[in-house]
């Protein structure tokens, strides 16, 4: 397993980060099997784990807490807060001081630890001033409950604003950004990755396999079972009430093959399968190795639901893609392109709610 410094933080992490989104009722409810998956990852040299309070509503953090018991000092633990943790209590969400302080305490309890290595804001919060958010996170760092802070799926303008606010107000700075990145989701190549490099931020990307699309499972003429990951994305548009909140809308169109964007994906998968055959590399190896090729990328988050999936994904860290393969990927999906806009992880409210575009 290769390792790399997380930006300018001085913390060294494995180039594959074990994502725990599939641990718990949302994916694999067998706690013992999830712990075996984590143990196998640790044995392979992975020292970086990413979870969130909203993953199976705390169950994922509990599983991670059990797995790191006895080896806490050997593992860099990242978790996140922001998404709603209650359908009924409006203020159990977001990035306010009121919620982040409480959410951190709850995550510490579930993880069974007295500190979090990397505490991340899961999405931008248009209701909360970034000064408020950074002030609360800085206090958690100074209290010793958090070692460093990061953001997840922030657009470049909000990363820059956060860094400027931290400098002006004496807050702790974001040390890491966690955006979506894959062959099908290359939008962050336009600005996000360059901005992160400029500020010395680490980058850990989520969904390098694009919810299974880049495994070759979904292709023309193939029958496939719907995976739990495809049914529970973390940035669904919301059916808003008059107050601006509401429950997530279902179903999410990850596998709605009637959509033109997904038909385009099927065509692109055929071209990538041809590239896989010609190069002698699996689709999984190509997909994950592609993300790790970018110099701004610290780690790619793999989210196995089974031990076999982990076994299939671990070797990708040693794969080096030739210039010919990378050039062909660029021809299939041009740099800076998101094949399906909804895969980008974050859309400004003005693009989701037409009421925000009209006075």
Q: Which residues are catalytic?
A: 55
Both tokens assigned to 269 = 């998968």
DSSP line for 287-307:
HHHHHHHSTT--EEEE--SSH
200 contacts: CB under 8 Å, gap ≥ 6: 7, 8
Between CA 146 and CA 207 the distance in angstroms is 25
Count of CB atoms situated within 10 Å of the CB of 71:
11
In Å, what is the CA distance from 59 to each residue of 51, 66, 78, 264? 10, 11, 15, 36
Cβ contact 203:176 at 8 Å: yes
With CA atoms as reference, report the closest residue to 301 among 150, 155, 164.
Answer: 150
DSSP line for 110-170:
HHT-S-EEEEEE-S--TTS-HHHHHHHHHHHHHTTSEEEEEEES--HHHHHHHHHHHHHHT
> What is the Cα 90 distance to its own chain's centre?
24
Cβ contact 159:177 at 8 Å: yes
DSSP line for 210-257:
TTTGGGT-S-TT---PPPHHHH--S---B---TTS--PBPS--GGG-T
Both tokens assigned to 102 = 């409480």
Phi, psi of 270 (to 5 degrees): -60, -40
Phi, psi of 202 (to 5 degrees): -70, 160
């Amino acid at each position: 397993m290769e390792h790399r410094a997380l930006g300018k933080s001085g913390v060294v992490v494995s180039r594959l980060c074990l994502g725990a989104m599939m641990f718990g009722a949302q994916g694999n409810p067998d706690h013992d099997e999830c712990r075996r998956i984590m143990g196998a990852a640790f044995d392979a040299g992975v020292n970086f784990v990413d979870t969130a309070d909203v993953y199976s509503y705390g169950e994922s953090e509990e599983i991670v807490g059990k797995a790191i018991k006895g080896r806490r000092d050997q593992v860099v633990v990242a978790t996140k807060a922001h998404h709603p943790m209650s359908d009924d209590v409006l203020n159990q969400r977001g990035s306010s001081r009121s919620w982040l302080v409480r959410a951190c305490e709850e995550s510490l309890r579930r993880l069974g630890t007295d500190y979090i290595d990397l505490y991340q804001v899961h999405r931008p919060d248009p209701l909360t001033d970034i000064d408020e958010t950074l002030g609360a996170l800085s206090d958690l760092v100074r209290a010793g409950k958090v070692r460093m802070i990061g953001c997840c799926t922030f657009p470049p303008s909000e990363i820059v604003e956060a860094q400027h606010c931290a400098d002006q107000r004496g807050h702790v700075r974001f040390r890491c950004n966690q955006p979506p990145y894959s062959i099908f989701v290359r939008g962050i190549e336009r600005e996000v990755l360059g901005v992160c490099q400029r500020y010395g931020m680490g980058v850990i990307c989520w969904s390098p396999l694009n919810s299974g699309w880049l495994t070759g499972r979904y292709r023309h003429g193939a029958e496939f079972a719907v995976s739990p990951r495809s049914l529970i994305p973390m940035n669904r548009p919301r059916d808003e009430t008059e107050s601006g909140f509401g429950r997530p809308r279902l179903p999410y169109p990850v596998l709605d093959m009637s959509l033109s964007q997904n038909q385009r994906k099927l065509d692109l998968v055929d071209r990538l399968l041809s590239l896989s055959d010609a190069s002698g590399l699996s689709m999984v190896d190509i997909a994950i190795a592609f993300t790790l090729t970018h110099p701004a990328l610290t780690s790619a988050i793999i989210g196995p639901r089974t031990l076999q999936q982990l076994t299939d994904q671990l070797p990708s860290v040693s794969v080096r893609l030739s210039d010919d393969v990378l050039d062909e990927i660029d021809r299939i999906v041009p740099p800076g392109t998101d094949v399906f806009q909804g895969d980008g992880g974050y859309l400004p409210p003005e693009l989701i709610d037409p009421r925000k575009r009209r006075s």
